[in-house]
Structures are given as C-alpha cells and as structure tokens.
Structure 1
Amino acid sequence: MKKPKLSFWQIWNLSFGFLGVQIGYSLQNSNTSSIFESLGADVSHLSYFWLAAPVAGMIIQPLVGLFSDGTWTRLGRRVPYILGGAVVSTVALALMPNSPTLLTFAPLVVGALILLFMDLSFNVTMQPFRALVADMLDDSQKTQGYVVQTFLINLGAVVGAVLPLLMTLCGVSDEAPAGQVPDHIAYSYYIGGAILLLTVLVTACRAREYPPEEFARYNAIAEPAAERPGFAALLRNVPPAMLRLGVTQFFSWAALFLMWTYLKPAITGVVTDHATGELLSTGATQTWVGVLNGIYPVPACIAALFLGRVAARWGNRPVYVVTLLCGAAGFAGLWMLRDQYALMVPMIGIGIAWAGILAMPYAILSLAVEPRHMGVYMGIFNFTVVIPQIVIGLTGGAIVTLCFAGDARSMLLLAAVFMLLAALSAVWTAKSPAAKSEAQ
C-alpha cells in the first residue's frame, strides 16, 4: 500500500526546522575559534575543541535513531526528539556567548562544556529529520524531500554566516574587552537560537506522523514492535547498500575536509590581486578564503532546486555521479588557478557537489533500508561523514609533510583525486544489483 502523496509545502514543513538547526551550526562553525581565543585558548589547541562535533555525532545520532524507531507518542515518532533537542539547543546558543561570566575563574572550561552541550543537542535535533522524510514520503517523493532539505541546509548556512555582519551593519558593536565575546556575535547567537526554535515549532505543529498501525500498513510490517532487534544486531546486519555508499562517502567527505583545512595555506602566497596582479597579503588572503567559503552554498541552493526534477528523469545515482564529477573539476580548478576572482568559478562546481552529497546518498539509502529501522541506520550512516574527517584530521599533517614536502596547495589536488574516486565508486555502486533503489 503506497503512502499518500504530499504537497510541496507539506514536504517543506517536514524539513523546515532543519533551516534553524543549520543556522545554529553555521554560527558555531564561523565563530567557535574566535570565541575560544577570546576565552584564552591557545591557537595550537583549537583543533581539540573542534573534535566535539564529530565525536558527539558518532555517539548521539545512532542512539537517537534507535530510540526514535521505537518511540510512538501523540506528537509522533521523530518530532519529540526534534522538539526536545531544539529547546536544549536554544539554551546552549544563549549560554555560549555568556560563558565568560558564568564561571569567571574558568571560562574556558565552561565554554568547552557548553560547546559539547550544544553539539549533543544539535545532533539530537538534526538526526530525526533524515528519518522523518523517509517515514512520511512515498518512494517517488523521497528524493524531492532530501533535495528540499539540501536547499534549507545551504540557506541556513548562508544566514548563519552573515548574521554577525548584519548585526554590525545594524550598529551593534564588534569590539569587546579582553576575555569577553563581542556583542555582534552574542546577538547573532540569540537570534539564531530564536530562529531555530521557531522553525522547529513549525515542523512540530505541521508534521503529522503516521500512527503505528498506519505506518505498519504503508510499509507492510507484520511483526510486533516488541520483536525489534538490538543495536548490536542491527550493526552486524547493515544493509549492503549502506556499505557501498560508505566508500563514496569516505572519498567525498575526505575531499571536503581537505578543502576546509588547507584552502587558506594553499592559496597564501600564491593567489594574486585581480586588479594589480600582485600577491595578496596574508590578511587579504584570509578575507578572500572567507569569501570563497561563502560562495559554494549559493550554487548548492540553486542546484537543489533542480536536482529533484533531474533525478526523477535520470535516476538518483547518475545525478550523484555527475555532481561529484563537478566537485572534482572544482577542486582541480582551485589547484590550478591563481587569480582571486578566477578562484570563484571552481566554487560553483564544489557547490553542485555539496548539493549532491547532502541529498543523493540519503535518497538512495532511504530506498534500501527497512522502514522500521530507518532512524538507527540513518544515525549509523553518519559514521560515513565523521570517520573520513577524523582520518584526514589525524593523517593530513603527515601527508602534506611526507608526500608533498609541506606544499599545502598539493592537498587541493589530492582533494580533486578523492572526489574523482568518489564519483567512480558511485558508478560502481550504481551497477550493484543489491540496492533496492536500483530502478530509481
């Protein structure tokens, strides 16, 4: 029995809360290092604070998925976790810029605890959105559902990135005494927290999850819920499609992490001013890296508007492969080009790949996983996002030193190779007969 088709705005409301979550993530990504520096953290120790996000994701997302798979309340199956996580996330966003005053003799410790608190709550809020789309949508609409999520994710990234600038333009001070967080950052966190809570409330009020009997009927589930296997058994029986997608995920996320880590040192002393042809200063290069990082979510938003239609015609995997090839070309362009404005062009290809990476694997996976275990497997699938980043984080220094004699620019070429391998592995996945979504 097929699930009823949902309208565009019903699909939009299923993921609307993701917009607020991503604004929170964007604020965190853009400002965490500067906040901890203001609290007295040594620059050489900043990377340790960044481990909070992937570690929290690895622990929390599978657990939330497992628990939400077996949760049935008046609010639904996933919504209670989304709503509870959003409330805690809002509190964490309000506390973060105030960490210097919460414990004056150890503000860095307080900041670290709040950061961990924030990452845990973000993951609790975010994880059920992936499963909610799969729960509520018919197979023919799942790709559209994840494409809408991709659009909202990138829109949230842009909004979160520009909020501090908007605060400054509105006259909020961007200066602060030593050991304090500037007002323009603090107000951005407050506004971001309010948006997060409001957008999640829209999803909580508008999303009407199927009750257990109806869900079982739509998904042909005959066994009672009490016979659900444990986490260890589910981990041992990971669907083959997830393992194959994991190969593609490893190379694509490794490529992205290389860019996030090495773009600034890669173009410092190399990129030239478009007007004069002279090398940009270190400060100007840092500013331009911020511009480049702010560009790729824009083409990702635009690409997301078309991915669903193209995938409906050509299939999920061919579209996935093409987006990854665009990313490989983009990374190669970053490695080759030197003019500051010319470097903006490759970010278009990377943005298209980013859109594909955020949408296509989840659309493919949702068609290959048993509906009753959707939550836990979506959580386990997060391993394929986190592990490549940890691996590159631990080995990147040795690679750039031993393989490239300290030339950070070569890491962009390595990123291009990784993204090409991701595209090739996606072709291999497409030929596998075991994937349930093969006909899609």
Structure 2
Amino acid sequence: MNRKPALSFWQIWNMCFGFLGIQFGLALQNANVSRIFQTLGADMSDIPILWVAAPLTGLIVQPIIGHYSDRTWTRLGRRRPYFLVGAVLTTLALLCMPNAPMLWVAAGLLWIMDASINISMEPFRAFVGDQLPTRQRPLGYAMQSFFIGVGSVVASMLPWLLTRMGVSNDPGASGIPDTVKYAFYIGGAVVLGAVSWTVISSREYPPDALRAFDSERPVDHAQVDKRSAHRYGLLWLGVGVLGTALVASLHLERELYLLTAGVAVYGVTLLWLGRSSRSSMFTQVMGDLYTMPDAMRRLAWVQFFSWFALFAMWIYTTAGVTQVHFGSSDTHSAAYNEGANWVGVLFAAYNGFAALAAVVIPWMVKRWGLRMSHLFNVWLGGAGLLSFLVIRDPHWLMLSMVGVGFAWASILSLPYALLSDNLPAQKMGVYMGIFNFFIVIPQLMAASVLGMLLKMFFHGQPIYALALGGASLFVAGLCVLRVREPVMDAVPVTAITGSQSGS
C-alpha cells in the first residue's frame, strides 16, 4: 500500500479519547486558576503576568517534544510514550494545585501543570496526522474537538455541580473551597484514565510504513540562508533592545518587558542560527521554523488573532462577570463566589456547544470547505464575546457561549486540517510543535499588553478585555481567506481493521 487506509469510526474514537482527559485538566486550569491566584492574594493587575507560565512553557516544551517524538520508536510506539508520561505528571500537578499554601507555589504548579499537559498534547496533534489519510483528518481533529468539549463541560461545571451535591463552597481557612479541591482530585483521575485508554487501545504505524505512505512528499530538510538569518537576527535584536529601553525610559507597565525581551531573544536565536555550523536539536528546530511551509506562515496570523482572543477570555471572564453581572470584586464575598461558579458553568456551556459543533463541522467542511467554515465559526465567536458588553442578565450569557463554542471547536480542528496536508510525515511532530509558537506568542502578547490597554483606555474594567477578544476573532476570520485549501486524496472510505502495526 502506498496510501494510508481509512480507519473505522471506533479506531478514530479510541485514538482521540485521550484528549478528553487532557482537556479535562486544561479546563480545570482555565476556569479556576485565576480564582486560586486571587484567593491567595494576587492583585488583578498581576493576573496576566502570573498566567504567562502557561504559554511560555508550551513555547519551550512542544517543539522539543515534537522533535524527539518524530525520532522515537519503542514498544509503546512513537507518540504514545509521551501521552503516558504527560498524563502522569499532569495528574500529580492537579492533586497539588488546590493545596498551594502561597501564591508563588501556585504559580510554580501552574508552570509544571502546563508543561505536563503540553508533553501529552503536542504528540496527540501529530498522532492524527500520522494515522489518518488527508480526507479523514478533518474528522479526526473534529473528534478531538468533540472530546475536548465533553471533557471541558464536566470539568468546568464540577465546582458548581459539587456545590449542588452538598460539598462546601465556603472558602474556609485556606481560602480554597472544597468544591475546587475535589474537582481537581477528580480531574487527576480522569486525565490518567482517559489517556491510558488511548495508549492501550491504539496502535501506530512504524517509521518505515510512514515513510512509504509519504513517499510522494519526501521530507524537506531545512536549507537556511545564513546571511538572511543573521541580517534578520540583528534587526529583531535591535527592535527588542530599543523596545526595552523605551519601556524603561517611559516607565511603562513592567509586563511589556516580557514582550520586548521575547523579541530580543528571537533575534539572538536567529543570530545563532546564522552563525552555527553544528547540527543540534536547537538548530534543527530553529531551521525548520525559519524555513516553514508557506501554509504555516499564513495560518500563523489566523492562530495569532484566535488565541489572543481566547487568552483574554480565560484571564478576564471571572473578573468581568463577577464585577459587572454579580456586582462584586471581593473574593471572599458570597456574590463573588457565586459569580465565579457561574463562570465555570459558562465555560462548561461553551465547551458543550463545542462538542455539538464538532459533530456539525465535518458537514460544514464538506459543504463550504475548510476556509469558509472556519471564518463562519470564528465570527460567531467574535459576536459572542462582544455581546458581554450589552447583556446584563448573567443567564443570557449562555447565548453568548453558543458562538464561543463554535469558534472553540473550529480553532481546535480546522487550522490543523489546513496545515497537516502541507507537512511531511517524518517532521509532523516538530512542525506541529512549531505551530504551537503561534498559539503561545499571542498569549504572551495578551499577558504583556492587556493589563496596560485596560488601564489606559477602559478604566481598568476587565469586561472590555472580552470585547478586544471579540474584535480579534473577526480579524482571524479574514486572515483564513489567505490560506490554500488542501487537496483531498481519493482514499476508500471502507474501514480497514488490523492494518496497523502493533506495539
């Protein structure tokens, strides 16, 4: 066979099931970590910089994991060893997070938790590209979105559900309610169980088989123009140094140092790439970044504006809704904790709508194509976030979550389907890891500038961060029109079972 056979529905189900667990842990993090930080004494202006651990960890971890998973073959296969290690570490972090005694401990645990989630998440993205033919990849990524939605619904609602079951929502001496603690404990068990199911029930193609399937698109080793890399390295380094000096001289927000330092570091890495003659993991990853496929460059802008919006939502929804819709910013008040629990319900709702959207998205793609489907979905999300400005009854925010849910499902699936057809199998992991840069960079940007923008233009009102996110999603929709539609291969749709090499 020189083409990958189509897999059955249940084979795709099993290979994607682990994402339920990964997203369960991520949803608990997204819905509750700002609450934990505030409870441990963090000022609202410090919340974005505390959150920077999450995207920064992904920026470092995912390309490294992708690089090594491309070169791994063990009794457990190519990607599955990373699934399992990441799940174990995530479970341990979830058990510790709600018991953090001090703010700096909680910030460190967020770093560890996000690194662990990334160890599992990056190979899962490459796993779909490894296992499925082009025509089934939208279905595979949509299936991941479905499990992301289902896992996130339950995880986001857990504190609220546990309150209804009689578990105390009183902050108590530690400031962290039992509802949050038990939710994290349950989350640890779900992460480990779901990922273990995928590890046990799935098989992987060995490297020789993947090379045979990809014989018509041989791996393209990065050929770096060293002069160009050196020239651009000097440019980026100069911009970073100048920006840092301006922030210092004008006494701007300290979060901006994160942005200017990142620009300078990128310049230094390009200078290294332009001068280095050694082949190492670092130079290979940076070379692949510098010579990335054109489709990835175009999708980078789609990802940038999409994830800027998502990060704004994750950071500021709790503060915005509790302040505007429940009338309290006091973390120890009953109104604040009621509002924070309602945010958990809203996050569960958008993930539930995302699960439903994941069922609809393959039909949308078949009818409208990948690009127009993604544009429609992210514009729905933009309208949903903008509606927070005009809706005052918190129950009606459920309607806003419909649009956010469709955008979330689309962001988690269609850009990867647009990308994977342009990647060689032998570099699927490292390119998926590099693609994560364009998820991380907008989150670092949001952490750097959102606090300043709110203070300068919106009197520090967190609800306006959601409006900025809504506008960003509209821009993301326009950017996707610049991306080429992949050519679907003519693979028979009949299921072929037992055709993959076992571990």
Paired AA for residue 143 in structure 1: P
Q: Output aligned runs, 1:197-276, within 5 Å.
A: 197-220=192-215, 230-263=284-317
**CA-CA distance at 1:65 after TM superposition:** 0.5
**CA-CA distance at 1:248 after TM superposition:** 1.3
| TM-score between the two structures when normalised by the length of structure 2 | 0.75
Gaps of 5+ in 2: 222-278, 328-334, 490-503
Q: Which residue of 2 aligns with 1:150?
A: 145
**CA-CA distance at 1:211 after TM superposition:** 0.9
Q: Which residue of 2 aligns with 1:324?
A: 378
Q: Which residue of 1 aligns with 2:492?
A: none
Separation in 1, partners of 2:462, 2:99: 36
Separation in 1, partners of 2:318, 2:188: 30
Compared CA separation, residues 227 and 206, structure 1 to 2 (3 A): farther
Q: Which residue of 2 aligns with 1:31?
A: 32
Does the 8 Å contact 1:317/1:427 carry over to 2? yes
Does 2:306 align with 1:311?
no
Compared CA separation, residues 324 and 396, structure 1 to 2 (3 A): same
**CA-CA distance at 1:370 after TM superposition:** 1.4
Compared CA separation, residues 3 and 190, structure 1 to 2 (3 A): same
Separation in 1, partners of 2:50, 2:20: 24
Q: Output aligned runs, 1:288-367, within 5 Å.
A: 288-367=342-421
Compared CA separation, residues 15 and 175, structure 1 to 2 (3 A): same
Q: Which residue of 2 aligns with 1:58?
A: 59
Does the 8 Å contact 1:323/1:356 carry over to 2? yes
Compared CA separation, residues 125 and 344, structure 1 to 2 (3 A): same
Separation in 1, partners of 2:179, 2:109: 19
Q: Which residue of 2 aligns with 1:426?
A: 480
Separation in 1, partners of 2:108, 2:322: 34
Gaps of 5+ in 1: 101-106, 274-280
Paired AA for residue 215 in structure 1: L
Does 2:447 align with 1:393?
yes
Separation in 1, partners of 2:297, 2:458: 31
Does the 8 Å contact 1:272/1:339 carry over to 2? no
Does 2:183 align with 1:188?
yes
Paired AA for residue 7 in structure 2: L
Deviation track 1:16-36 (CA, whole Å, cap 9, x = no partner) reads 111111111122223324444
Does the 8 Å contact 1:40/1:179 carry over to 2? no
Compared CA separation, residues 403 and 315, structure 1 to 2 (3 A): same
Does the 8 Å contact 2:157/2:345 carry over to 1? no
Paired AA for residue 202 in structure 1: W
Does the 8 Å contact 1:272/1:338 carry over to 2? no
SS of 1:296's equivalent?
A: helix
Q: Which residue of 1 aligns with 2:74?
A: 73
Paired AA for residue 74 in structure 1: R
**CA-CA distance at 1:85 after TM superposition:** 1.2
Greater mean alpha carbon deviation, residues 324-333 or residues 384-393:
324-333
Does 2:419 align with 1:368?
no
Compared CA separation, residues 47 and 318, structure 1 to 2 (3 A): closer
**CA-CA distance at 1:439 after TM superposition:** 5.9
Deviation track 1:187-209 (CA, whole Å, cap 9, x = no partner) reads 32222111111111111111110
SS of 1:343's equivalent?
A: helix
SS of 2:412's equivalent?
A: helix
Paired AA for residue 371 in structure 2: R
Separation in 1, partners of 2:474, 2:359: 24
Compared CA separation, residues 282 and 74, structure 1 to 2 (3 A): closer
Separation in 1, partners of 2:316, 2:178: 30
Greater mean alpha carbon deviation, residues 316-325 or residues 161-170:
161-170
Compared CA separation, residues 96 and 412, structure 1 to 2 (3 A): closer
Does the 8 Å contact 2:70/2:426 carry over to 1? yes
Separation in 2, partners of 1:123, 1:248: 21
Q: Which residue of 1 aligns with 2:3?
A: 2
Greater mean alpha carbon deviation, residues 128-137 or residues 418-427:
418-427
Paired AA for residue 70 in structure 2: D
Separation in 2, partners of 1:313, 1:419: 22
Paired AA for residue 400 in structure 1: L
Separation in 2, partners of 1:346, 1:243: 31
Paired AA for residue 156 in structure 2: A
**CA-CA distance at 1:113 after TM superposition:** 3.2
Q: Which residue of 2 aligns with 1:122?
A: 117
Sequence identity (%): 43
Q: Which residue of 2 aligns with 1:178?
A: 173
**CA-CA distance at 1:374 after TM superposition:** 0.8
Q: Which residue of 1 aligns with 2:271?
A: none
Q: Which residue of 2 aligns with 1:104?
A: none
Greater mean alpha carbon deviation, residues 223-232 or residues 201-210:
223-232
Compared CA separation, residues 346 and 163, structure 1 to 2 (3 A): closer
Separation in 1, partners of 2:49, 2:462: 21
Deviation track 1:37-84 (CA, whole Å, cap 9, x = no partner) reads 555656654444322111111110111001101111121110011111
Deviation track 1:321-376 (CA, whole Å, cap 9, x = no partner) reads 11122223323433344444443323212211111111100111111111111111
**CA-CA distance at 1:89 after TM superposition:** 1.6
Paired AA for residue 297 in structure 2: L
SS of 2:73's equivalent?
A: coil
Separation in 2, partners of 1:180, 1:337: 30
Separation in 1, partners of 2:280, 2:440: 31
Separation in 2, partners of 1:297, 1:46: 23
Separation in 1, partners of 2:297, 2:24: 30
